[in-house]
Amino acid sequence: MKSSEPIITKDLIAQHNLTDDEYKKIVEILGREPNITELGMFSVMWSEHCSYKSSRVHLKKLPTTGPRVVQGPGENAGAVDIGDGLCAVFKMESHNHPSFIEPYQGAATGVGGILRDIFTMGARPIALLDSLRFGGLDIAKNRHLMKGVVAGIAAYGNCMGVATVGGEIVFNDIYSQNPLVNVFCLGIAHKDKIFLGTAAGVGNPVIYFGSKTGRDGIHGATMASDSFDDQSEQKRPTVQVGDPFTEKLLLEACLELMSGDLLVGIQDMGAAGLTSSSCEMASRAGNGIDLDLTDVPRREPGMTPYELMLSESQERMLMVAQAGKEDECIRICKKWDLDVAVVGRVTGDGILRVRDQGKVVAEIPAKSLADDGPRYERPYSPPGYQDMLTNLNYDALPDVKDANAALLSLLESPTIASKRWVYEQYDHMVRTNTMVRPGSDAAVVRIKGTNKALAMTVDCNSRYCLLHPYEGARLAVAEAARNLVCSGAEPIGLTDCLNFGNPERPDIMWQFVLAIEGLKDACEFFTIPIVSGNVSFYNETNGLSIYPTPMLGMVGLIDSADRTMTQWFKQDGDAILLLGKTKEDLGGSEYLKVLHHREQGSPPLLSLESEKALHDFLLKVIREGVVQSAHDCSDGGLSVALAECCISAPDSRRGAVVQLPLDALRRDALLFGESQSRVVLSVKPEMADEVLNRAWDSGIPAMKIGTVGGDRFVIDVEKGQWSEGCRIDLPVDQLYDRWAFSIERTLNQA
């Protein structure tokens, strides 16, 4: 009887995204040619998505340790100590390619995957944030993608009962063919009850539980490790289908299993499905697993071992239980109406052995699959266009003439405009932990049972990273930390989601390497460890890459929740202060893009020393209760920051009257430049002088610039050394209308 196994040909190897050299290495490891199931298992585990073969050598440079670090990179998520016997468990992941092919399910399953990463560690998820990138909303496809992604995020998170408390969205035409969907999740766990993905203890049972296995998501990891072209939407079958109701049951079952003395290890079946969970758990323990597919729950008849091992069907887990406690584990899973089956045993020979119907269908060293994949030190060099990007003759740009119109244009640009249309679709108050809802510098959730709170933010200015990847990455760290500090939080940990184009291109690899160096230097300076993360390469279509987007999710601790700070003005008559110095920093600004249609120049200068001094001072005065509001200056510069202080409160709007000296600056640089290490404060009028004096004593430039109150937003720019002054004078209600409803109007008019 002839075998139905296909013959391994060069074409078949190429279809599995394996090079000739990689295939030769597989043959050397096995001492023979692989069969089709083994070829598939190697292809997913050695994919860029799973193996980090182009990035691992550089990722090792990042700081990952510190006094608060409970678990660093290498597990399902990272964890940092927050006191009281508790730790914050968090991670950020991408689901870019699936969301482009099928936006609703791509985004929904991205949420499901990151939730599993958190509760697999023994933490109950309490907060989600999302960082999204889309092309311009004037294009129908981009509107479709945005609506689908937002709906998918909302549906899954809301069904799970996990609050989506914040995030950020940026619009740029470069993301039209490659949207980015990055999702951050945080949970709380007891420090001494962290669970790891390990298959320890020879003879211990390996148990499958959760949903049944189907054919959805096969080759999802391989698809995520490839560039797109005009035919990419045909890859729809590689996108997984999510079921949040099953995931809710899975979450509760996991936490109940973890409450008893039952488990040795546990792992989510994410990318590469059963293959990755089994080989990674075995490899971490230096063991093997004897896996029998016969009893794997499946929802489609006739599934082959290849399909079962590579399926990325959602809401599935693999646990290693203590010998003799299988029945109790099965009872708990059935109580929560989950499919469950003992599918293997831990062995001591280091081999992942897969059987089906009594026949061995794969036999591979677990370590070879999980850890011995190729490692590339790819060549890197700057692109030929880099000098053109950074060289911008500002003297050739006309200074702003109508400052009123410029401000309104910036407030209604989708990147700066309110994201209320998005976050109103999310349940951001479920479980009643949320203290600061979407719309301030950072989201804040209380830690129940303590007087503490956690602040969270996601940040990255990809335009800065395009113009100078090293500086752009440093600026991302500084801004994320500044957002937390403005909320009254001390930054304590970071997760990253590094989105780049094709690493086989030297110019893309140059962007990546410099961004890593920037992250390293800034995190080391601020002593903020990177405890988890993700790399997403091949974000390009037909050779056009996205801008380098090293997205950061940063967490901060607020020791006294009643000292939590928000960005909006609180009381008429309060003094408005500006901390930090405004410089000629127009390069890479939103102003240049919106008003002059240019994405050029050098990004703003950043002094890490000045930034740290600002953080230390700001934390001190916020904790003392001296400050009424605090808001960092970022996209759109000082005028946009001031306007947001007037209009971003959830239940009120307040005007302001501001006077600014022009000195030797251009008007547009003063109003819309994005100089770093600046914060707008409001304080009670009797406290203004004290705060100013203390700031100067701490080496921080500071000045009183105005007063809160009225129903108009007024900025008077005094005549400068070389330029005439100007005036912004607009009703606050007009500012609010342009800002609050911009995205909604665009979507409805299209």
CB atoms within 10 A of CB 623: 16
In whole angstroms, give the CA distance from residue 167 to residue 161: 18
φ/ψ bin of 317: left (φ > 0), alpha (ψ from -120 to 50), beta (otherwise) = beta
Element (H, E) at 503: none
468 is catalytic: no
DSSP 8-state code for residue 7? P
Q: Is 95 a catalytic residue?
A: yes
How many of the other CB atoms lie within 10 Å of CB of 192? 9
Bridge partners for 552 per DSSP: 459, 496
Can you tell me the distance from the alpha carbon of 262 to that of 266, in angstroms, rounded to the nearest whole number?
11
User: What's the rounded Cα separation, in Å, for the pair 147 and 422?
Assistant: 9
Phi, psi of 480 (to 5 degrees): -60, -45
Rounded distance, CA 705 to CA 645, Å? 14
Token duo for residue 674: 């994005």
Q: Which amino acid makes up residue 34? A: P
Query: Cβ atoms within 10 A of the Cβ of 201, count?
Result: 18
Q: Are 592 and 599 in contact (CB under 8 A)?
A: yes
Say whether 399 sits in a helix, a strand or coil. coil
- Active-site residue, from 49, 97, 615, 631: 49
- Give the integer Cα–Cα distance in Å for 278 and 305: 14
Rounded distance, CA 669 to CA 667, Å? 5
Q: Residue 167: beta bridge partners?
A: 130
Q: Comparing C-alpha atoms, which of 346, 347, 309, 379 is closest to residue 205?
A: 346
Sequence-ordered strand ranges (E) for 451-510: 453-459, 490-499
Task: Assign residue 605 a region (left: φ > 0; alpha: ψ between -120 and 50; beta: otherwise).
Answer: beta
Beta carbons within 8 Å of 224's beta carbon, 6+ residues apart: 47, 48, 49, 96, 97, 98, 271, 536, 538
Q: Select which of 16, 58, 95, 97 is catalytic.
A: 95
DSSP reduced 3-state for 737: helix
| Cβ atoms of 664 and 721 closer than 8 Å | yes
Q: Which residues are tagged catalytic?
A: 49, 95
